[in-house]
Amino acid sequence: MKQAILVVDDEVDNVEALERLFRRKYKVLKATSGTAALELMEQEKVAVIVTDQRMPNMTGVEFLAASMRGQPETIRILLTGFTDINSVISAINSGQVYRYVTKPWDPVDLSNTVDKAVERFELSAELKEKNQALQLALKELRTLDEAKSNFMILINHELKTPLTVMLSFLALLSETTLSAEQAKYIARIAGSADRLQSLINDSLELVSAETGQLPIKVTGINLKKLMADLKKERQTQLEQKNMSLDILLEAEDVRADAKALRSVLNRLLDNAIKFGHEKSTIEFVTREMGKDDVQISMTNEGRGLKSDAIARILKPFSLDEDIMNHTKGAGLGLSVVQALLRRLGSQLEVESPKGKFAASFSLPSG
Could you tell me the sign of the dihedral formed by the alpha carbons of 238, 241, 244, 245, in that order?
A: negative
Is 60 a residue whose pLDDT tops 80? yes
User: Residue 201 has what pLDDT?
Assistant: 80
Domain end, chosen from 177, 210, 243, is at 210
Q: pLDDT tens across 314-362, in order?
A: 666 555 544 444 444 445 678 889 889 999 999 999 888 778 889 999 9
The rounded percent of the chain whose pLDDT value lies above 90 is 48
> What beta strand segments (E) does 69-225 contain?
75-80, 99-102, 218-222
Q: Do both 80 and 167 map to the same domain? A: no
Q: Do both 206 and 223 map to the same domain? A: no
Is 207 a residue whose pLDDT tops 80? no
User: Residue 152 has what pLDDT?
Assistant: 65
Q: Do both 237 and 355 map to the same domain? A: yes
User: Residue 155 has what pLDDT?
Assistant: 66
User: Residue 257 has what pLDDT?
Assistant: 94
The mean pLDDT of 95-106, rounded to a whole number, is: 84
> If we measure between CA atoms, which residue out of 240, 254, 153, 155 comes closest to residue 201?
155
At residue 359, the 3 state secondary structure works out as: strand
> What beta strand segments (E) does 236-280 contain?
244-249, 253-257
Is 213 a residue whose pLDDT tops 80? no
Domain end, chosen from 187, 210, 233, is at 210
Is 153 a residue whose pLDDT tops 70? no
**224: CATH:** 3.30.565.10
Q: Do both 249 and 330 map to the same domain? A: yes
**161: CATH:** 1.10.287.130
User: Residue 316 has what pLDDT?
Assistant: 60
Asked if residue 112 belongs to a domain, the reply is no
Asked if residue 346 belongs to a domain, the reply is yes
User: Residue 324 has what pLDDT?
Assistant: 46
Asked if residue 113 belongs to a domain, the reply is no
The full length of the chain comes to 366
Q: Do both 285 and 148 map to the same domain? A: no
> If we measure between CA atoms, which residue out of 210, 19, 35, 3 comes closest to residue 124?
3
Q: How confident is the model at residue 271 (pLDDT cuts 50, 70, 90)?
A: confident
* Cα end-to-end span (Å), the chain: 68
Q: Do both 159 and 285 map to the same domain? A: no
Asked if residue 244 belongs to a domain, the reply is yes
User: Residue 77 has what pLDDT?
Assistant: 93
Q: Residue 146 is part of which domain span?
A: 136-210
Determine which of 83-97, 165-179, 185-199 has the lowest per-residue pLDDT on average: 83-97
Domain end, chosen from 210, 233, 260, is at 210
Measured CA to CA, the distance from residue 104 to residue 100 in angstroms comes to: 12
Q: Do both 232 and 155 map to the same domain? A: no
User: Residue 82 has what pLDDT?
Assistant: 62
Q: How confident is the model at residue 273 (pLDDT cuts 50, 70, 90)?
A: very high
Helix (H) or strand (E) holding 260: helix 258-275
Q: How confident is the model at residue 208 (pLDDT cuts 50, 70, 90)?
A: confident
Under 8 Å between Cβ of 323 and 305: yes
**Mean pLDDT value across the chain:** 86
Determine which of 139-143, 284-288, 296-300 has the lowest per-residue pLDDT on average: 139-143
Asked if residue 114 belongs to a domain, the reply is no
Q: Do both 241 and 342 map to the same domain? A: yes
At residue 45, the 3 state secondary structure works out as: coil
Measured CA to CA, the distance from residue 15 to residue 28 in angstroms comes to: 10
Q: How confident is the model at residue 8 (pLDDT cuts 50, 70, 90)?
A: very high
The mean pLDDT of 148-159, rounded to a whole number, is: 68
The mean pLDDT of 210-229, rounded to a whole number, is: 89
Q: Do both 164 and 182 map to the same domain? A: yes
In single-letter form, the type of residue at position 96 comes to Q
**35: CATH:** 3.40.50.2300
Rg (CA), the chain: 36
Asked if residue 118 belongs to a domain, the reply is no
User: Residue 138 has what pLDDT?
Assistant: 83
Q: How confident is the model at residue 143 (pLDDT cuts 50, 70, 90)?
A: confident
Angle at 270 between CA 205 and CA 302, to 5 degrees: 130
Domain count, the chain: 3
The distance between the two most distant Cα atoms of the chain, rounded to a whole number of Å, is: 109
Q: pLDDT tens across 21-50, in order?
A: 999 999 999 999 999 999 999 999 999 999
